[in-house]
Amino acid sequence: MAPAADTRIKVGIVGGTGYTGVELLRLLSQHPNVELRAITSRKEDGMPVAEMFPSLRGRVNLKFQVPDSAGLEHCDVVFFATPHGVAMSQAQALLAAGVRIIDLAADFRLQDTAVFERWYKMPHACPDVLRESAYGLVELNRERVAAARVVGNPGCYPTTVLLGLAPLFQGDAPLIDTGHVIADCKSGVSGAGRKAEVATLFSEASDNFKAYGVMGHRHHPEISEQLKLLAGQPVGLTFTPHLVPMVRGMFSTLYMRILPSALDVDFQALYEQRYADEPFVDVMPAGSLPETRTVRASNFLRIAVHRPDGGDQLVVLVVQDNLVKGASGQAVQNMNLMFGLPETTGLGLIAVLP
């Protein structure tokens, strides 16, 4: 049952000094059903949030607190905008207090703990909580998210790749060669987080374009696990991320080979039908070329479907803001669903242009 219009969800944020943390604050401070109760930072304990982020002056009056004194157990939901490993260390105590959890890191994304431990170099602290958690890609997992106590918010790259491929795995007949799928993905520098690191310094990242993680990236197993669920079998994925010299934005180009039995399929119509009722997935008209600036600061993901020369190659272009639909906006979308609110609540922001 949906809550009354004046219902206030008491929200806490753990780790509010990074880019996903301040993005959560930007979105939640405008949300009509949210009461921001606590935001934590051990290093900045006692500092007003608006002192660190003047963009929030007059909108967020909280001070940073250490987690032990923040009263997180009195919240309805706690967002973790923290490094990997933090959410799982606090999950059981919060759940025992009746608090729901949305983790923007990887603690509750991968169901295979051995895979998690191999990629994140730490043991999983609460595999029992992991088993009950829901993977928070609403467009693929709506019912589970709505009923969940714990949600693992998807990674930014996986969001573009999974939503860009999902329509191809509906129905019984295969449409593409699942042994050879290529995801050529690019992200703005904010995807690396708010930290001092040589590779993301202005003089290093500006006027430059480079690939990274070619021999292995931690989002690869996340994408592969979800694709296997969608396809009912393992999918052969080549995933190559790149860093582009812009602050926000993500552009994923997906390449597939159409099977001979599916050459007559209208893929434009297939995508339009699959996402017709999705408020944040926009399938653009045939022939469109989406741009990252058309989604900047919004929770929208835009898709364009191409079939060069009408042949057997399918090219799908996907753009999103890596900090919004790729992270904090998607987390708020999950919260809305978990608390019976319309998914669009507080997320109707139009992209910033230019």
CA atoms of 239 and 288, how far apart (whole Å)? 24
Compute the radius of gyration of the chain from its Cα atoms. 20
CA atoms of 220 and 322, how far apart (whole Å)? 17
Q: Which two tokens stand for residue 196?
A: 């001092």
Q: How far is CA 175 from CA 54, 257, 274, 320, in A?
A: 50, 9, 15, 25
Number of alpha helices (DSSP H) and beta strands (DSSP E) in the chain: 11, 14
The DSSP secondary-structure symbol of 332 reads: H
CB 184 within 8 A of CB 211: no
CA atoms of 252 and 217, how far apart (whole Å)? 15
CB 11 within 8 A of CB 28: yes
Q: Which of 75, 126, 156, 185 is catalytic?
A: 156
Evaluated on CA atoms 318, 319, 323, 325, the torsion sign reads negative
Catalytic residue status for 156: yes
Q: Which residues are known catalytic residues?
A: 156
